[in-house]
Amino acid sequence: MKTGTLDRIDQCILAELQADAGLQNQTLAERVNLSPSACLKRVQRLRRAGVIREEVAILDAARVGFPVLVISRVSLRSTTREAIQAFERKVHALPQVLQCHCVAGETDFVLVICARSLPAYQAFAQEQLGDALELENYSSDIVLSTTKFTTRLPLDSA
């Protein structure tokens, strides 16, 4: 499936699943006006094509013990392919790093990191970022409040 080749029904299916990934196929089929078998085939095709990457429960971080959210900007000493790949491998192994984005601009990466407390983040930052030889520098912003958080893509917008 090529990027951008979703028809209206695919978009409706995806919008419903973005709102509730646990929908039963029968309910989903009714909502998008398809037979259950046709709906299931479309969902399976979307999964095979990688359009649907995962189906997860989104947890409230504070309620499960991670009230601290930090945005860190990281600059590497070297931006060779090997250095970037080594940093990405390191980040993948750190469960506190929720997101890692390679970016263009003043820094090389933006990380979203969760922690149980500010001292826990400080220890993490010193051990994983501050002492890392591959890093030129990093800066961190502590999130005070979240005004908007969504994982839903705006499929119906132009």
5 band by pLDDT with thresholds 50, 70 and 90 = confident
How many domains, the chain? Answer: 2
Distance CA 117, CA 68 (A): 6
- Can you give the residue range of the structural domain that contains 14? 8-48
pTM equals 0.87
Residue 18 has pLDDT above 70, yes or no: yes
Residue 104 has pLDDT above 70, yes or no: yes
Average pLDDT, the chain: 94
Report how far apart, in Å, the C-alpha atoms of 91 and of each of 34, 84, 146 are: 42, 11, 23
Distance CA 80, CA 50 (A): 29
Residue 158 has pLDDT above 90, yes or no: no
* C-beta of residue 67 within 8 angstroms of C-beta of residue 145: no
Tell me what the mean pLDDT of segment 39-43 comes to.
98
* C-beta of residue 66 within 8 angstroms of C-beta of residue 114: yes
CATH number (domain holding residue 17): 1.10.10.10
Tell me what the mean pLDDT of segment 96-109 comes to.
97
CATH number (domain holding residue 89): 3.30.70.920
- 136 and 69 belong to one structural domain: yes
Tell me what the mean pLDDT of segment 131-144 comes to.
90
Is 114 within a domain?
yes
Name the DSSP class of 57: P
133 band by pLDDT with thresholds 50, 70 and 90 = confident
- pLDDT of res. 3: 55
Tell me what the mean pLDDT of segment 84-93 comes to.
94
* C-beta of residue 114 within 8 angstroms of C-beta of residue 59: no
Phi, psi of 15 (to 5 degrees): -65, -45
Is 118 within a domain?
yes
